[in-house]
Amino acid sequence: MTDPFKEIEKYEEFLRIKPLYWDQKAEEFVWLDTRLIPFEEVYRRTKDYKRVGEAIRSMEIRGAPAIGVSAAFGMALAAKYSRATTLEGLLGDLEDAKKYLASTRPTAYNLFWALDRVWKRILEASEKGDLEEVREAVLDEAMRIYVEDIKNNVEMGRIGSKLIDDGDRILTHCNTGALATAGFGTALGVVRYAWYEGKKIHVITTETRPVLQGARLNVWELKKEGIPFTLITDGMPGLVFMKGMADLAIVGADRIILTGHTANKIGTYMVALAANDNEKPFYVAAPTSTIQAVTDPSEIVIEERDPDEVRKVMGKYPITLPDVNVYNPSFDITPPKLITAIITEKKIAYPPYIKSLRELVSP
């Protein structure tokens, strides 16, 4: 088996932005607090898995792949710093940690995928009955998930860039860049790859109410890369497509099921409608770890967040009266008929998704 701590060195060139990592010397998990971006770049660190859960819940860390990878490192912290002296005690602590981390955000499938994968490794390692072996295995698995995420993103970028032409104007919604993953990004990773290949593209990003992942995080990432962009409000994609100002849309996903139904940031469905009505491609880019192997869209849990996210900007500036009734679902579901293709690290899946996605996830 390869050493993930060595493997990561191969991807340094793609990690101009390092959103999260394991500090081997301090034996701590480190992440960039995305709530403060674009105004401040503050890294936070912890040895406490509960703090990781809190960071996910409060959206210091957000974006489905970043949530999954961080939860895996949360498990590594739980294993490393558990005071248990027996295998049963350690497994009990790890079960508690898994439950706690799984409760942080309900839609991001990568969270459950990563926790299940770590759990499988824990069970394998515990067969020998050695506590130290289990502790090391959890960190090793978390590191593997971390490195794979970056590797998959770069691969998705390479594959997806084939769909982007020189001169394309690309509309995106929510942040799917380095800040939403272990590094490089999914949909924004495709954009980034096309830019690295020398394609002269222009990004149109929505602001992405209510948490403003577009206005804050995309703007910060695109500026850092020097990729030209225009910021629009969430109500504008219809007009932008109608006026012929965008050539395609590309977004990420929090959860995709085998039928192709895709849960992503609230407003994605409207972007898909606008692109389709104007006969422009609407692409989804996501690693296969985002795909849940079920066929019933009602299995997709849609997170509803604090109404104050809508009443105030960034929890600080009120934009309405304090007691107004609010509906604040964090995600919507785009039906497969509106999705031109789904870009993954393995290949581009085309309709009918029930066939192409099933092929992708079957072992």
Which residue's CB comes closest to ligand MRU? 252
State yes or no: residue 63 binds ligand MRU (CB under 6 A).
yes
Paired with 46 in beta bridges are: 29
Measured CA angle at 68 (ends 171, 158), to 5 deg: 45
**Quick one: which of 142, 180, 191, 333 contacts ligand MRU (CB under 6 A)?**
180
Give the shortest CB-18-to-ligand MRU separation in angstroms: 16
Residue (82 or 218) nearer to ligand MRU, CB = 218
Among 62, 14, 12, residue whose Cα is nearest residue 184: 14
- Helical packing angle, 87-102 and 49-57, nearest 10°: 10
Within 8 A by CB and 6+ apart from 46, the residues are 28, 29, 52, 55, 77
Q: How far is CA 164 from the centre of its chain?
A: 21
Of the candidates 178, 122, 145, the residue with the CA atom closest to the CA atom of residue 72: 145
List the 202-206 sheet strands across, edge first. Answer: 229-232, 202-206, 169-172, 248-251, 282-285, 341-343, 348-349
Stretch near ligand MRU under the rule CB under 6 A, chosen from 5-13, 25-33, 173-181, 269-277: 173-181
From the list 47-55, 58-66, 93-101, 224-232, the region that binds ligand MRU by CB under 6 A is 58-66
Give the residue numbers marked as catalytic.
254
Residue 12: alpha-carbon gap to chain centroid:
20
Query: 118 or 211: whose CB is closer to ligand MRU?
Result: 211
In angstroms, what is the minimal distance from the CB of 321 to ligand MRU?
25
The verdict on 218 binding ligand MRU (CB under 6 A) reads no
Residue 62 as a binder of ligand MRU (CB under 6 A): the answer is: yes
**Minimum distance of ligand MRU from residue 111's CB (angstroms):** 10
76 binds ligand MRU per the rule CB under 6 A: no
Closest of 19, 83, 74, 29 to residue 213, by C-alpha: 19
Interface with ligand MRU, residue 265, by CB under 6 A: yes
Q: Are 198 and 28 in contact (CB under 8 A)?
A: no
**Shortest Å, Cβ 290 to ligand MRU:** 7
Tell which one of 72, 94, 118, 174 touches ligand MRU (CB under 6 A): 174
Beta strands 248-251; 169-172: pairing state: parallel
> Taking CB under 6 A as the rule, does residue 206 contact ligand MRU?
no
Subset of residues 78 to 137 that bind ligand MRU, contact rule: CB under 6 A = 108
Q: Is 330 in the site for ligand MRU (CB under 6 A)?
A: yes
Identity of the amino acid at 49: Y
Residue 243 structure tokens: 């006026």
Cβ at position 180, least distance to ligand MRU in Å: 3
Nearest distance in Å: CB 275, ligand MRU: 16
- The binding site for ligand MRU (CB under 6 A) comprises 62-65, 108, 174, 176, 180-181, 186, 213, 252-254, 264-265, 330
